[in-house]
Amino acid sequence: MKVEQISIFLENKPGGLSGVTKVLKDGNINIRALSLADTSDFGILRLIVDDVNKAKQVLNEHGFAVGRTHVIAVEVPDRPGGLHSILDRLTTEGINVEYMYAFVERSGENAVIIFKIDAIDQAIEALQKNGFNVLPGDKVYGL
Amino acid sequence: MIYNEDFETLPREVLEALQLKRLKQVLDRVYHTVGFYHKKFEEAHVTPDDIQSLADLGRLPFTVKQDLRDNYPFGLFSVPMSNIVRLHASSGTTGKPTVVAYTKRDIETWAELMARSFAAAGLTKNDIIHNAYGYGLFTGGLGAHYGAEKLGASVIPMSGGSTKKQIMLLQDFGPTAICCTPSYLLFLSEVGEEMGVDMRSLRLRVGILGAEPWSERIRQEIEKRLDITALDIYGLSEIMGPGVAMECIEGRHGLHVFEDNFIVEVIDPATGEVLPYGEKGEIVFTTLTKEAFPLIRYRTRDISRLMPEVCKCGRTFVRMERVSGRSDDMLIIRGVNVFPSQIESVLMEIEGLEPHYQLIVDREGSLDTLEVRVEVSENIFSDEVRKLQNIEKRIVKDVKDIIGVSVKVKLVEPKSLQRFEGKAQRVIDKRNI
């Protein structure tokens, strides 16, 4: 039920981001979702892509520092309070969310949100038990 | 192994008597043949006859780099050009280069000192030495070359640059020893690893590394990455070139100064006062045997201390601690003396950091600032901002705790900092611009 995310270290300088997107384009890799966290000095680009191994390989070849992390993708009902219901559940269970971002594509009628959670197994169990749909990696890469 | 047991293991009192005899000879010679020294001694109201013991050395004036520049190119030579067989020159990054000269006998002396250095590293005629010091005006290449031949080893006169070719020859020729700067050896291993070469499986077993200050951590890093023993060699062209002092493989703690050829002193760089053994200060050399270009009390600007304790290798020569910086590399940041090598030591204590860094000195208003740029390798990279900021904070705190200066840390992309094939230039000082 886990999804693999890659993250890339970027200095804050002109052309930093396009350097990554060019490598991915040339590697014929499709970005499924992304988020950029930045400070005044550096940024961390987090990506869900259709081919994790190849993306890491081509980025490494171009000298980028690339991390791989497990995250979870959860379907969220597309209505007011949809996201809150998930976060409320996690809070009740005492589970801390490191960060989250929205998926570009929808899954049927639902939006998809990516969560980075340290207690990932506990979160998956809690969400599934309470009727939330945690999407498997294969499905997410192909959305 | 000791190359010249007769000299290298002389009892101290015999060695000191030899030094005094040779000192008197060299003083007599420079006083009568080098106008600069004649004038300088007169100004200090001292003649060679006043020097009757090694302790009297302190009465003689220092020679500094500026004296060499003022007498450019040949003003300090003590023999006519017809007796000189070789010239070398420093890189001269600031103004004119420093020119040095050798007679035929000087070249032989130098070759012997380098042969002694290689022997101290455990090398014999059965070794193959890959010499990646630059050949040319720089003393490193030819100095090591002649020493290797004198020892009877096989020398590969590779010189610097052509890094991929170096790696090919390291694989194909199977050298057992390599000579270069420590930063270049790290660069070589990095390129080798990128080429898919297992740098630990080469036949190399020892590195004779010098020409720039380096830290114990860099030594450990080199030894781990190449599976070799890394030894420190010291020298400077003004005094001879490489082979003025060499670490022995038995002790691996401090470099034996070849005291039958040089007198070494440590002084307080601010006052010029001679410091006792054990105290840290600027290293000063007097050449005892050099014919073409003798120097009296030459201030090296290298910071070290002398260790008189007897070494287990059997050499009686005093050891100088690994050079911890240069008095002119010393940065003064808001009144705190900072050596780049100190910052390096702090960085190398932090798990996962690469040994590549750069220091940017600048001034904001009237305040000096020091920025430390560190490459983010995958070992320390995280998808969480907080974890990367924690690394920045850790560096800031450690530098503050250990060196006492506040720095700003900037994480940069892997391999974005310059790599060096010669001496590493890690400091960019923007204050003068």
Sequence spans of domains, chain B = 1-327, 331-429
Task: Give the residue from chain B lying closest to A37, CA to CA.
Answer: B385
User: Which residue of A lies nearest to B374 if distances are taken between CA atoms?
Assistant: A11
Contact flag A11-B411 (C-beta cutoff 8 Å): yes
Q: In this predicted structure, what is the pLDDT of residue B52?
A: 96
Are the Cβ atoms of B414 and A63 closer than 8 angstroms? yes
Taking an 8 Å cut-off on Cβ atoms, the answer to whether B381 and A67 are in contact is yes
* Cα separation values, B257 from B86, B112, B247, B276, Å: 24, 14, 9, 16
Residue B248 has pLDDT above 60, yes or no: yes
Which token pair is A19?
């350097």
Most B CBs within 10 Å: which of A10, A42, A61, as the mutation test of the B interface? A42
Candidate from B383, B410, B413 with C-beta closest to A69: B383
Report CB contact under 8 Å: A66, B384: no
Give the torsion sign (CA, B305, B428, B235, B253).
positive
How many other C-beta atoms lie within 10 A of the C-beta of residue A119? Answer: 14
Which tokens is B201 given?
């499986």
Closest-CA residue of chain B to A42: B411
Residue matched to tokens 């997410």: A140
Contact B368, B361 (CB under 8 A): yes
Half-sphere exposure of B364 (CA within 13 A, CB side): 5
Token duo for residue B314:
């059997």
- Substitution target in A23, A39, A44 with the highest count of B β-carbons within 10 Å is A44
d(CA B119, CA A119) in angstroms, rounded, equals: 59
User: Is residue B378 packed enough to be buried (19+ CB in 10 Å), middle (13-18) or exposed (0-12)?
Assistant: middle
Residues in B touching A41 (Cβ below 8 Å) = 410-411
Nearest to B410 among A41, A44, A116 (CB): A41
Give the DSSP letter of residue B201: G
Torsion angle of alpha carbons B185, B101, B243, B174, nearest 10°? 40
> At B75, is the pLDDT very low, low, confident or very high (cuts 50, 70, 90)?
very high
- Number of neighbouring beta carbons within 10 Å of residue B235: 25
**Domains annotated on chain A, with CATH:** 3-69 (3.30.2130.10), 71-141 (3.30.70.260)
As given in the structure block, the two tokens for residue A20 are 């990554």
How does residue B339 score in pLDDT terms, banded at 50, 70 and 90?
confident
- ipTM summary value: 0.85
What is the distance between the alpha carbons of residues B193 and B264, in angstroms, rounded to a whole number? 41
Cross-chain residue pair A7–B377, CB shorter than 8 Å? no
Q: Rg of chain A over CA atoms, in angstroms?
A: 16
Chain A residues interacting with chain B (CB cutoff of 8 angstroms)? 5, 7, 9-11, 37-39, 41-42, 44, 46, 63-67, 69, 98-99, 116
Which residue on chain A is closest to B410 by alpha carbon?
Answer: A41
Q: Alpha-carbon distance B239 to B298, whole Å? A: 8
Measured between beta carbons, which residues in chain B are less than 8 angstroms from residue A15?
Answer: none
Residues of B in contact with A98 (CB under 8 A): 384
Say if residues B328 and B302 touch (Cβ distance below 8 Å): no
Written as six digits, the tokens of B156 are: 């590969």
Residue B382 C-alpha, separation from nearest chain A C-alpha, in angstroms: 6
> CA B423, CA B55: separation in Å to the nearest integer?
36
% chain B with pLDDT above 90: 76
pLDDT grade for B336, boundaries at 50, 70 and 90: confident
What integer is the mean pLDDT of B8-17?
Answer: 96
pLDDT at B374 over 60: yes
Find chain A residues with C-beta within 8 A of B196's C-beta.
Answer: none
Query: For residue B423, what pLDDT is reported?
Result: 67
Tell which wins on pLDDT, B403 or B125.
B125
| Closest CA in chain B for residue A61 | B194
Mean pLDDT in runs of 10 for chain A (143 residues)?
94 87 94 90 93 95 93 90 92 94 79 93 94 89 78
Mean pLDDT of B286-314: 95
**Which CATH fold topology does B331-429 show?**
GMP Synthetase; Chain A, domain 3 (3.30.300)
A65 vs B contacts (CB less than 8 Å): 376-378, 381, 413-414
Contacts 24+ apart (CB under 8 A), B361-364: B361/B331, B361/B333, B361/B427, B361/B428, B361/B429, B361/B430, B361/B431, B362/B430, B362/B431, B363/B430, B363/B431
Q: With CB atoms and an 8 Å threshold, state whether B376 touches A37.
A: no
- Mean pLDDT score, B283-291: 97
Whats the size of chain B, residue-wise?
Answer: 433
At which residue do the structure tokens 């932090």 appear? B350
Residue of B nearest to A69 (CA): B383
Mean of pLDDT values over B57-81? 95
H or E, element range at B36: helix B35-43
- How many Å is the Cα radius of gyration of chain B? 22
Architecture of domain B1-327: 3-Layer(aba) Sandwich (3.40)
Report the mean per-residue pLDDT for chain A.
Answer: 91
For residues B158, B163, B169 and B175, what is the CA-based torsion angle, rounded to 10 degrees? 70
Per-residue confidence (pLDDT) for residue A79, from 0 to 100: 85
Within 10 angstroms of residue A61's Cβ, the number of other Cβ atoms is 11
Q: Where are the alpha helices (DSSP H) in chain A?
A: 16-26, 52-61, 82-92, 120-129, 137-141
Question: Could you tell me the sign of the dihedral formed by the alpha carbons of A60, A64, A65, A66, in that order?
Answer: negative
Cα B219 versus chain centre, distance: 14
Parallel, antiparallel, or unpaired: how do β-strands B306-307 and B319-320 relate? antiparallel
Roughly what angle, to the nearest 10 degrees, separates helices B139-151 and B104-120?
A: 70
Going by the DSSP 8-state scheme, the letter that residue B61 receives in this structure is P
Q: In this structure, are residues B230 and B182 in contact, taking their beta carbons and an 8 Å threshold?
A: yes
Asked if A69 lies within 8 A of B415 by C-beta distance, the reply is no
Q: In chain B, what residues touch A37 (CB-CB under 8 Å)?
A: 385
Residues in chain A: 143
The pLDDT mean for chain B works out to 92
Highest mean pLDDT: which range of A7-16, B224-233, B266-275, B347-356: B224-233
Instruction: List the end-to-end C-alpha distance of chain A, in Å, as a whole number.
Output: 15
Q: Is the dihedral of CA B127, B132, B135, B140 positive or negative?
A: negative
Containing A135, the helix (H) or strand (E) segment is: strand A134-135
